[in-house]
Structure 1
């Protein structure tokens, strides 16, 4: 069992489960915050496994730079989510 505790996939699983519980009592925009945080963590796992390209790394960079907006500017945070979605759409269209 000790090995599973060090596994990045398990760590993400634990984050998702505890985040789901946290969302029950947190402000509504914390749900999207937790989701983009999970996305960044997943990109990190993908990076370790050699499954990312520059476009995906750009998504992670955007998340790390802007996810804290939720704490002081909710409107800008929502705009960031829109921007992030557009960048993802660009990746999907290029494939």
Structure 2
């Protein structure tokens, strides 16, 4: 998202992407933890949960409707890649925060 300068700019762009959904509005979180858990190397990536457990994921996809359909068919796990992806070039936010907290002696 090269046009964004701040996290707020990025959040607003994400909001605009999902505001068209009147039903099944996806929950969008700027949380790196789930992507660290699946070892995400490319974006976009979509994850589906049951409770707190990741049950399926796909890359190159942002279509939540497709993901819901796959869950209804009991298709779980790595559903594959659909469409274009790009390599994630940014360092993990989790690692950056750990590094910075380590420098100030916070544990």
TM-score by length of 1: 0.31
Give the number of the structure whose residues are more often helix, by fraction.
1
Give the number of the structure whose residues are more often strand, by fraction.
2
